Chain A
Amino acid sequence: GAVVSQHPSWVICKSGTSVKIECRSLDFQATTMFWYRQFPKQSLMLMATSNEGSKATYEQGVEKDKFLINHASLTLSTLTVTSAHPEDSSFYICSALSLGLPGLGTDTQYFGPGTRLTVL
């Protein structure tokens, strides 16, 4: 149990284009999902908290108009990087919060495999 998927696993795009990344909880429902970014040889940095049916909460310094988050269902959150530039190239990772379902840790975040974004 507690499987979180991301699609695509990697993407290469041209500067100025938009890229959408999907995060799905496959075997549990998640009212809250999180989006992280990780640059090479650095730790994960939280970008935003995504709550189903409401607006995302962004961390300080993260541009909400550039990183659009939609959490339209209990199993799907999407991150759209708008007008991507080379400095947006990074490893984007989502997580889904489990609220103590049988066999799963209480209030535990389960992470997806990540999406490698390269902007040329």
Chain B
Amino acid sequence: DAKTTQPPSMDCAEGRAANLPCNHSTISGNEYVYWYRQIHSQGPQYIIHGLKNNETNEMASLIITEDRKSSTLILPHATLRDTAVYYCIVRVGRGGGNKLTFGTGTQLKVEL
């Protein structure tokens, strides 16, 4: 699976949008971009995933560049509860073993 690069930490003011970038310049055509987050001492929580089109759900939006070499996770109105480590993971879809390889992620800190 392609390697991803994320900034180690980011800060965001409560109520503002949090934009978390991820670089995956070696992504292959059949690899999806997944985002998870892990609040301290809890299991990871699935946020969103996409292949090439932008995606939106009740938690966040995922913007994937046209060349698919990078993406941005957007939390439209960050709250204190969004403070967590956010992982961007690239993996092959169905038939590819379904393994997730976690990197070091981005520690997002939402402050008042």
User: A residues touching B (Cβ–Cβ < 8 Å)?
Assistant: 2, 4, 6, 32, 34, 36, 43-46, 49, 91, 93, 95, 97, 105-114, 116
Contact = CB atoms under 8 A, between A and B. Distances in A.
A43 B43 contact: no
Contact of B44 (A32, A93, A106, A107): A93
A85 B31 CA distance: 39
A36 B99 CA distance: 11
A114 B40 CA distance: 11
Given A106-B94, A107-B93, A107-B94, A46 B43 contact: no
A32 B104 contact: no
Query: Top 5 closest A-B pairs, CB basis?
Result: A111-B43, A44-B102, A43-B102, A111-B44, A114-B43
Main secondary structure of the interface of A (DSSP, over half): strand
A93 B100 contact: no
28 contacts: A2-B46, A4-B43, A32-B98, A34-B99, A43-B87, A43-B103, A44-B102, A46-B99, A46-B100, A49-B97, A49-B99, A93-B43, A93-B44, A95-B43, A95-B100, A105-B46, A106-B94, A107-B94, A108-B46, A108-B49, A109-B46, A110-B46, A111-B43, A111-B45, A111-B46, A113-B42, A113-B43, A116-B41
Q: For A46, A91, A111, which residue has the most chain B Cβ atoms within 10 angstroms?
A: A111
Interface residues of B, number: 22
A37 to B, nearest CB: 11
Contacts of B87: 43
A116 B46 CA distance: 21
Main secondary structure of the interface of B (DSSP, over half): loop
Q: For B36, B94, B98, which residue has the most chain A Cβ atoms within 10 angstroms?
A: B98
Contacts, number: 55
Given A114-B41, A114-B42, A109 B101 contact: no
Nearest to B87: A43
A108 B89 CA distance: 12
A107 B42 CA distance: 22
B43 A107 contact: no
A116 B40 CA distance: 13
B43 A109 contact: no
